[in-house]
Structure 1
Amino acid sequence: MNEFSKNIISHNASVIEAMKKLNEVPGSLTLFAVNEQQQLVGTLTDGDIRRGFIHGLSLTDTVEKFMLKSFHKVNNGFTVHDFKTAREKGIRLLPVLNDKGQIEKVYDLKKRQSILPLEAMIMAGGRGERLRPLTDKTPKPMLPLGNKPIIEHNIDRLISFGIEKIYISVKYLGEQIEDYFGDGASKGIQIEYIWEDQPLGTAGALSLVKKFNTKHILLMNSDLFTDTDFEDLYLNTVQQNAFMGVATVPYTTKVPYGIFTTTENQITGLKEKPIYTNYANAGIYILNTSVLNKIPQNTFYNITDLMEQLIAANQIVIHNPIVGYWIDIGQHQDYKNAQEIVKHIH
């Protein structure tokens, strides 16, 4: 709430004081009016003040006469859907109230995409062989992309979706990652490092976390550059009662010829220059924590092994296509492509 302390004003304050305060918070242009018990009783914008003057109010009148008493807020225990509804209504600042009706936190919905009840793990232990010599002295996740390392783009995106606890699995030159981010306090989150004594594949490090504190977790590779909608992936996974949700990348194949469908040597149909769409694994997953006991302890184990186990047991595994951009920075050309894209992102 510290960031928004300037947005608080007494409902008994004069509208002149409110105008001065609004001048101090040009980014949000919203004030929260509170009563003597510090309960939120209204919101005030420049527009509310203008409308008040039009209806005959004067500079000597109090904030209470100008403020909007019907406003959007959420209470503690709110859901992802509540947050999504506020965003869809165009709300900029969303106050969270405690049981007494006092402001406990304020979310800036221009900076926050969602508030997902997830902890996350980023896999960052790989050697990055295909990007040598760039990775000889720098771990691949720490290669610069724009004004910050590749992995920081992913951490910041996770934060924008409300994820506040992130595990990072590290091995090769992991000290550089740990030195750079520390415990996460500088970003207002908690970061814990999971050190792999031996390579553990794309899921083995999950077995080294004693206990996740959320019903679902997000697992992702560290070398991705993407604007994946984590909220969409999470909601689809939960709504379909899936044990795993996998982000996928549509991959289109165009055949430049007329293709026959046949039965033995008989032609049964013709498709002229057909286009086929398949879906590739994007390296981002939502897992129900109930499946984590299937992962062997401290052993090389890939997420695709778990996927195959779940499918074989007829457990629901869904996929969710990525609509925006996605680059797996595995080779030099991928890195160049990502560097080109980041120039155009603000």
Structure 2
Amino acid sequence: MRAMILAAGLGTRMRPLTNHCPKPLLPVAGKPLIEYQLERLAALGVKQVVINVSYRAEQIEQALGDGQRWGMAIHYSDEPEALETAGGIIQALGQLDDGQDSPFLLLNGDVWCELPLDRLPRRFDAKGLLLLVDNPDHNPEGDFLLQRGRIVKYADEDYRMSPPRLTFAGISLLRPSLFAGLAPGKRALGPLLHQAAEKGELAGQHYTGFWLDVGTPERLQYLDRRLQHAQSTE
């Protein structure tokens, strides 16, 4: 399986910590956040990883190198101007497509999730599978509705009659065909996923364990304390 880590953001919500350091390299329990992602991918057996970079790209490339220490090959997709999520994927698609429309694993570089990645299904009859979590305080209305393993759309007037929406965890398995016909350029992933959901092209999996969007200094500090405590009790 091939994988991509999204790491090109400016990290504006994380300022001032990101004034001189890109968010993926911010330390958590003594190690850059993105290194935990690479370790998890290596444990899954992933050998080819694409990382899109833009803000302070040279720092990320220098810190991670070619991936040899994790037993994988890291390819960098440089974005002189950040292309947003879908735009970054489209630019890197040539390195993610095996020619058979096999799904690749996509990870946001700033999420922490304790679900073992091998518990994500390798086979599913959809263009993508999204991991969904219970809504955090900063996203109380959620993103998607999940019914019997499928992500579905419902009308606004049906909101009160529907189960609560869930939040996209920033972890997904996506097929290259999801991006077919889309021209390179700046493009967000959210609208594309909602369009696919309207067509019944997305599957979903609900995870109820620990997950965190590490998007602010406060959440970074919380995760740091949690991991340090876990390490001290091992």
TM-score > 0.5, shorter chain as reference:
yes
**Which residue does 2:205 correspond to in 1?**
320
**Equivalent residue of 1:219, what SS?**
strand
Structure 1 unmatched ranges of 5 or more: 1-117, 255-275
**Equivalent residue of 2:208, what SS?**
coil
Counterparts of 1:197 and 1:315, CA distance in 2: 35
| Residue 333 (1) aligns with residue 218 (2) | yes
CA deviation profile, 1:290-336 (whole Å, cap 9, x unmatched): 22324331x11122122123233x24212212232111111121111
Higher relative contact order (CA 8 A, sep 6+): 2
For 1:1-346, list aligned pairs within 5 A: 118-209=1-92, 210-214=94-98, 215-235=102-122, 238-239=123-124, 241-251=125-135, 277-297=164-184, 299-312=185-198, 314-343=199-228, 344-345=230-231
AA at the equivalent of 2:20: K
Deviation at 1:250, TM superposition (A): 1.3
Counterparts of 2:81 and 2:181, CA distance in 1: 19
Distance 1:193 1:251, change over 3 A: same
Q: TM-score, normalization: structure 2?
A: 0.80
Q: How large is the RMSD of aligned CA atoms in angstroms?
A: 2.1
Q: TM-score, normalization: structure 1?
A: 0.55
**Which residue does 1:71 correspond to in 2?**
none
**Equivalent residue of 2:119, what SS?**
helix
For the Cα contact (< 8 Å) 1:204–1:295, is it kept in 2?
no
Counterparts of 2:182 and 2:47, CA distance in 1: 24
Identical pairs, percent: 29
Counterparts of 1:295 and 1:334, CA distance in 2: 35
Deviation at 1:342, TM superposition (A): 1.0
**Equivalent residue of 1:156, what SS?**
helix
**Equivalent residue of 1:300, what SS?**
coil
Number of residue equivalences: 203
Deviation at 1:189, TM superposition (A): 0.4
Which is higher, the Rg of structure 1 or of structure 2? Answer: 1
Tell me which protein shows more strand as a share of its residues: 1
For the Cα contact (< 8 Å) 2:3–2:96, is it kept in 1?
no
